[in-house]
Structures are given as structure tokens and as C-alpha cells.
């Protein structure tokens, strides 16, 4: 029986189904309920799947956020380290002895030798005490300069080379350049102790590489007349 044959029935489809088997109705209802249950299960399943996906997305976003935070923290640490390195290098530069573009020379009569012998002196100025080791270099050789290991703030004057009576101005100096190594004073030195925070080794015993190093040329001899020619 279909619903069309009962279109005129006022009590409705189910109420007038006198000739309809209740088993069919029960089956229909059961089927409906089963379908409804299936849909509900499907919905639950879909909701469950959606919840799982949401959860996965949240976890991924959370992981990405953590990764970004870690990267930001790492970058921050890196920036702080870099800033610290720059500051220590700046302090290192500021604490180093100011390097002159060239060293002045002064040719003076040698009172002890006499006879037209002269000595060439040079000098540099330090803003604070340092330990120092210096060498004069010529094309052929080098020799250590006579400078105390510990020098105080102020002018440091040192003998560079002799100027024999037969040397002419145009002959120039024997020394090509001066190399000076500097270190902070050692704790045992009788001066105000200070240190450089840069982390470079401070082997202030005159050996090993300098904490600061100069390689400086020398001013040429004075113009003619500054040095009298022998004879």
C-alpha cells in the first residue's frame, strides 16, 4: 500500500493503515532508527575526525610557535653574544696603545764616542702602563730594541741605531720598520693593574704574540743640513 491511495484519508497515513502489517511499520521504524543511529554514528565519527584534525592542527601550530619562540630566543642569544663580542672588541681597541702612522726620529750627537758619531733615537707615547717588547727590522736582519719590559704612561724613548760620521742624509736609516708587542701589566708589576676583557691571551712575559701589535715605519732623516756630513 502506498501513501497515494490514502490521500483522502483525514487521519493520516499511519492511523488508517488498517490493512498494513505492523511488522512492516516496525521494520520501517526500526530501519529509520537504524538509519538515524547510523547517521548519528557517522556524525560522531565525522566530529571525532574533525576533532582529531583540529587537535593535529593545534599541535602543529603549537609546535611551530614553539619552534619560532626557540628560534627567536636563539636569535636573541646570538644577538646578545654578537653585541658582547663587539663591545669586547671595542674595549680591546680602546685599551690598546694608539698606533702612530710613523715613528719620529731624532739624530743626536753621541757624547761618549764623539768624533761626529751620532745616534738615532725614536719615541712613542703611551696613555697607560704596558708590558712592551720591540724589535727594529731592516731588510737583512732584526734586533730587539732596548726598552724596559714594563713601561709607564707617558713618553717611551729608545735608541734605534747609530749614525756613523760617513753616512749621508740620502742614505737614510738602516731600520725599515719597528715592531712593538704590548700586553697589559702583570699583577706583580708596580703600576696600576688593569686588564683587557677581550679574552685574547695575555702572556705578558715578552714572549709569544702581543696582545696588541704595531708594525710602524719611521720618519725619514731630516732634510739636508739636519745631519752634518762627515769631514
With binding defined as CB under 5 A, does residue 136 bind Zn ion?
A: no
Our CB check for Zn ion shows the closer of 152 and 200 to be 200
Provide φ and ψ at 161, rounded to 5°. Answer: -165, 165
Q: What spatial distance separates the first Cα and last Cα of the chain, rounded to whole Å?
A: 150
Q: How many CB atoms lie within 10 A of CB 99?
A: 15
Beta carbons within 10 angstroms of residue 173's beta carbon = 20
User: Least distance (Å) from Zn ion to the CB of residue 97?
Assistant: 12
The rounded distance, in Å, linking the Cα atoms of 179 and 205 is: 16
Residues 58-117 that bind Zn ion (CB under 5 A): 92
CB of 185 to Zn ion, least distance (A): 13
DSSP string of 90-145? HHHHHHSPPPPSEE-EEEEE-TTT-TT-EEEEEEEEESS-EEEEEEEE-SS-EEE-
160 vs 196 by CB, closer to Zn ion: 196
Binding segment for Zn ion among 6-14, 139-147, 173-181, 198-206 (CB under 5 A)? 198-206
- Is the CB of 106 or the CB of 200 nearer to Zn ion? 200
Minimum Å gap between C-beta 148 and Zn ion is: 22
Q: How far apart are CA 78 and CA 72, in angstroms?
A: 9
Q: Would you say 127 or 172 has its CB closer to Zn ion?
A: 127
Q: Supply the minimum distance, in Å, between the C-beta of residue 144 and Zn ion.
A: 23
Answer for which of 196, 204, 210, 218 binds Zn ion (CB under 5 A) is 196
| Binds Zn ion (CB under 5 A): choice among 17, 179, 186, 198 | 198
Non-local (6+) Cβ contacts of 221 within 8 A are 105, 107, 169, 172, 173, 227
d(CA 215, CA 176): 10
Number of residues that bind Zn ion (CB under 5 A): 4
Query: Among 13-21, 101-109, 193-201, 213-221, which window interacts with Zn ion (CB under 5 A)?
Result: 193-201
Nearer to Zn ion, 58 or 94 (CB): 94
The least CB distance from residue 85 to Zn ion, in Å, is: 12
Task: Mark the segment that binds Zn ion (CB under 5 A) among 15-23, 55-63, 147-155, 189-197.
Answer: 189-197
Check: CB of residue 153 under 8 Å from CB of residue 126. Answer: yes
Give the binding site for Zn ion (CB under 5 A): 92, 196, 198, 200
Amino acid at each position: 500500500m502506498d501513501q497515494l491511495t490514502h490521500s483522502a484519508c483525514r487521519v493520516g497515513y499511519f492511523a488508517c493503515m488498517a490493512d498494513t502489517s505492523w511488522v512492516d511499520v516496525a521494520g520501517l521504524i526500526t530501519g529509520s532508527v537504524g538509519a538515524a543511529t547510523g547517521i548519528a554514528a557517522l556524525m560522531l565519527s565525522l566530529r571525532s575526525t574533525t576533532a582529531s584534525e583540529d587537535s593535529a592542527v593545534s599541535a602543529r601550530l603549537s609546535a611551530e610557535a614553539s619552534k619560532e619562540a626557540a628560534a627567536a630566543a636563539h636569535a636573541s642569544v646570538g644577538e646578545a653574544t654578537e653585541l658582547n663580542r663587539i663591545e669586547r672588541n671595542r674595549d680591546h681597541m680602546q685599551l690598546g696603545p694608539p698606533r702612530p702612522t710613523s715613528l719620529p726620529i731624532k739624530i743626536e750627537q753621541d757624547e761618549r764616542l764623539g768624533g761626529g758619531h751620532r745616534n738615532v733615537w725614536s719615541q712613542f707615547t703611551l696613555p697607560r702602563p704596558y708590558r712592551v717588547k720591540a724589535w727594529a727590522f731592516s731588510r737583512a736582519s732584526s734586533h730587539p730594541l732596548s726598552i724596559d719590559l714594563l713601561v709607564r704612561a707617558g713618553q717611551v724613548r729608545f735608541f734605534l741605531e747609530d749614525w756613523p760620521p760617513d753616512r749621508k742624509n740620502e742614505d737614510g736609516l738602516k731600520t725599515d720598520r719597528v715592531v712593538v708587542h704590548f700586553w697589559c701589566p702583570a699583577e706583580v708589576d708596580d703600576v696600576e693593574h688593569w686588564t683587557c676583557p677581550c679574552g685574547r691571551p695575555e702572556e705578558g712575559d715578552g714572549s709569544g704574540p702581543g696582545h696588541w701589535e704595531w708594525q710602524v715605519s719611521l720618519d725619514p732623516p731630516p732634510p739636508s743640513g739636519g745631519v752634518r756630513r762627515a769631514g
